[in-house]
Amino acid sequence: MRAAIYVRLSRETDETTSPERQRAACEALCEARGWNVIVVEEDIDVSSFSRGLDRPGLQRILTRLAELDVIVFFKIDRLARSTVDFAEIMRLAEHQSVALASATEPLDLTSSMGRAMAKVIAVFAELESDTIGMRVSSAHEHLRREGRYTGGRVPYGYLVVSNPNGAGKVLAVNEVEAKTIKRIVERVLAKDSLMQIINDLNKEGAPSPGHSSRQTTGKRSDSKQWYTTTLRSLLGSPQLLGQVIEDGKPILRTDGLPLVNRPPILDTDTWQALQDELERRRYDRGLFRGDDGAIRYAEQYAKLEERLATLKERQRTAKPGGVKAEPTGETHAEQWKRSDVAGKRDLLLNAGGYVEVAPARRGGKKLDTSRLSVYFGEEGHMRRAAAAKESEQEPQAADSQG
């Protein structure tokens, strides 16, 4: 039988399930069964819980199922942490008549009872994974409250250093980035536009918060450019006050106040002035700017309401108008020649011009002219009127269904 050995380890620190030990146990099983090992794949520092089936080593095995007879792994939880993922791997393997074999668990996965038992073990593996996740989250929460760095994205303006008061790591102010932040804040408070600020930052090559040169650990965006969204996110983050943020929200102390356990980059007064300026800019981007914008908006709204009431009254008492045809003495070609784009559009509409575009049958950048149907005269007027009527009825039908 042709065998593939699969080895996985979330973090290469657990000696009890080291890659070497996993591989040795799998090779011993293959030797005892007389199986021929044709491929060995490893996923090291890859979490089955967070990545699911999206693991490079596992995917390479799954793409070669037609060449295999059995997949050998150390334990079921090395193959999958989720019962859903395990069931999917089992389904894919069965479809190609490939067996699954655990090197340390006495299971015969070629029988219905063995597969059922494997799924039960997978359930307990998933439960154990959830329990470990809860313990890790609790440990991280404790470390954060102790002022320790727990990994992940390093906030802009900070860097990771050894804890001077004990074990682990802590965040300290990155003087270069802090200087950049303070320079940005000064320009914002001086009423410089955010677009001009980011243009200057990009020209001088100042690393952005997502720049790969400054992110040594954790998830990063790999964006080497500054953008207005990047800048707004940075300037609006309470992390500049030394607060600890998790899932976008400050962690609170037992008294309800934000947890602050790292040196702040901005003082409270500067921070508040910055937020006031950013809020003013958000408001000023609207139609009514300035301190009296709300008053002017209310006045304009009242005028529009009055104007609307007047128009409705005129509409109620209006008499139908008539149409009188007056010859211009020009041909369509002459009028077309002397008209601008808007005039040509009106000329086509008045002549009953109407174009129907059928759905595309295949992709492509070139326009398929066979999709176009052009109508003029009375037929064009009738088709346009029918299309307008359909567009008015669609929202009503949607409302009735809702």
d(CA 108, CA 37): 19
Strand partners, 245: 250
Q: pLDDT by residue (tens digit) across 315-364? A: 888 877 777 778 888 888 898 899 998 888 888 888 888 888 888 766 66
Gap between the Cα atoms of 202 and 226, Å rounded: 6
- Per-residue pLDDT, 31: 93
* Banded model confidence at residue 396, pLDDT cuts 50, 70, 90: low
What would the DSSP string read from start to end of 301-360? HHHHHHHHHHHHHHHHHPPPP-------S--HHHHHHH--HHHHHHHHHHTT-EEEEPPP
Torsion angle defined by CA atoms of residues 106, 112, 113 and 115, in that order, rounded to the nearest 10 degrees: 50
Instruction: Taking the CA atoms of 213, 219, 222 and 227 in sequence, report the sign of the dihedral they define.
Output: negative
Please name the amino acid found at residue 9: L
Please identify which residue in the block is written with the tokens 């804890």: 163
Q: What is the pLDDT of residues 124-151, one digit of tens each?
A: 556 655 555 565 455 445 445 555 565 6
pLDDT for the residue 30: 93
The larger pLDDT score, comparing residue 98 to residue 244, is at 98
Instruction: Quick: pLDDT tens for 53-66.
Output: 888 899 999 999 99
Q: What is the 3-state secondary structure (H, E, C) of 256-291?
A: CCECECCCCCCCHHHHHHHHHHHHHHHHHCCCCCCC
pTM over 0.85: no
Structure-token pair, residue 54: 């999206």
Share of the chain above pLDDT 70, in %: 70
